[in-house]
Structure 1
Amino acid sequence: MSVIKKFSEFFSTAALHYRAYKILIRNKRSYLYTTAWMQSLAEGKPIDNSQNAIPWMNFNIVELLDQRLNKNLNLFEFGSGYSTYFYADRVKCVTSLEYDSHWYQLLKPQVAENVKLIFQQEDIDGDYCRVIVKQQQKFDVVVVDGRDRVNCIKQSFASLSEQGVILLDDSQRERYQEGIELAEAEGFRVLHMSGLKATGGRAHRTTILYRDGNCLGI
């Protein structure tokens, strides 16, 4: 490759990078700002433009949940965190399961009154995935975003209300496909939602497992 061609390619790439910088970074109306991606990156945590916590999921699913969740719903989540604050503001009750004792102790004094925070050490096809069954109640939304996700999906079926849905985060990972197939065998339909998430640099996917008459209206 000639020196002239190398310089030409270098300047073409530099020009492209500068255009991207102008469109996405300098432009305060760009997607990175309207979704609070830039703000989240600066803070090192998932937040919206009002500094409120959001789930560490892609912005498309976060927007859907923000629009469709309501104060008549009971929600169970495998994996506590910033999402717990978000759900507590939007549903009737949140039951949140955490396996990390340090994170559990940090969250416990901060969660809202409508949050039941549970600690359970992680295991495989053991007590962790069965905590939802031990609650002996029906949930309208089950968020699977913790450990042992395939078994968590399996144990969630009996704990869903008639309008219940299951959300599986990071569903692009091959090891979670078995859980989606199990849900399909139980009569659930599948909706994949992908996109950028707070502080992330690539597409992430969340899958909604749903039936007719579900609480999200899909």
Structure 2
Amino acid sequence: MSLTSHQEDCFQSFSNLQLNSAEGIPHMDLLNVKLVCSTLTPHTSVLEWGCGYSTTFFSRYVKKWVCIEHVPEWGQIITEKLKNSTFRDKVSVNVIECNNPNFDNTFPAIFFHDGDYQEFRDYIEFGKSLNEKFDVIIDDGRARVHVALSVLRNKLLKKSGVVILHDWEREHYKPVLDNGFTLVKEDTISGRHLAILKPTKY
């Protein structure tokens, strides 16, 4: 996979941080990160479901980063981590809580059920309220299949835009391929898989 110098900088920066066992880096395998970096340019706009260290790391390599988080405490932690960064103005953190206050957000429960439409309706549909289209959408939070379908329904991608879906090894995410998406690239070598998808039509 060939990378531009900008994308190579993204990848090498992560590699160096991982080599030095740095804290606060994305919970992704090396090849996952290379695939993500391959989608980023200084002009890229990103919408992310599931704020985290991916937010604080990758956002420095793009023009704009909007993330949607369902846990208020975690959203505040990410906001605090960004507070003194030179790229803070590129990032907005939006906390949209679960519609079901009894949702089990613990491990391993979320491996098998990461939420349905009724449980996360407001979170899933928040992208529509932005009235904007994005170059890259990262689907790495709750209700991932429903989020992916909302990307199509609400027309959130720019022409040639892509969706990145993390933990692609989970079989219950694969139905997106029968519902308007096609596979562009995937990492099935790492412990946690990752897929880059595009709509069958924009």
Q: TM-score, normalised by structure 2?
A: 0.71
Match in the other structure for 1:93? 64
Shift of 1:211: 6.2
Q: 1:131 to 1:74 in 2, by over 3 A?
A: same
**Structure 2, unaligned runs of 5 or more:** 1-13, 83-87, 100-115
Match in the other structure for 1:166? 163
For the residue of structure 1 that corresponds to 2:77, the secondary structure is helix
Tell me if 1:133 matches 2:128. yes
For the residue of structure 1 that corresponds to 2:18, the secondary structure is coil
Shift of 1:120: 0.5
Match in the other structure for 1:26? none
Instruction: State the percentage of identical aligned residues.
Output: 26
Task: State how far apart, in whole Å, the 2-side matches of 1:68 and 1:155 are.
Answer: 21
1:1-218 maps to which residues of 2 (within 5 A)?
A: 35=15, 47-49=17-19, 51=22, 53-111=24-82, 112-123=88-99, 124-125=116-117, 126-157=121-152, 158-184=155-181, 188-196=182-190, 203-210=191-198
Structure 1 vs Structure 2 CA RMSD: 2.4
Which letter maps to 2:133?
K
Aligned length: 161
Which letter maps to 2:64?
C
Mark the structure with the bigger radius of gyration.
1
Q: Is the 8 A contact 2:177 2:183 kept in 1?
A: no
Partner deviation per Cα, 1:7-45 (whole Å, 9 max, x = no partner) = xxxxxxxxxxxxxxxxxxxxxxxxxxx956xxxxxxxxx
Deviates more, 1:149-158 or 1:203-212: 203-212
Shift of 1:133: 1.1
Shift of 1:191: 2.4
Task: State how far apart, in whole Å, the 2-side matches of 1:182 and 1:162 are.
Answer: 18
4+ residue runs over 4 A deviation: none
**Structure 1, unaligned runs of 5 or more:** 1-33, 37-46, 197-202, 213-218
Task: State how far apart, in whole Å, the 2-side matches of 1:180 and 1:52 are.
Answer: 35
Q: Is the 8 A contact 2:44 2:62 kept in 1?
A: yes
Partner deviation per Cα, 1:119-148 (whole Å, 9 max, x = no partner) = 011243211111111111000000000001
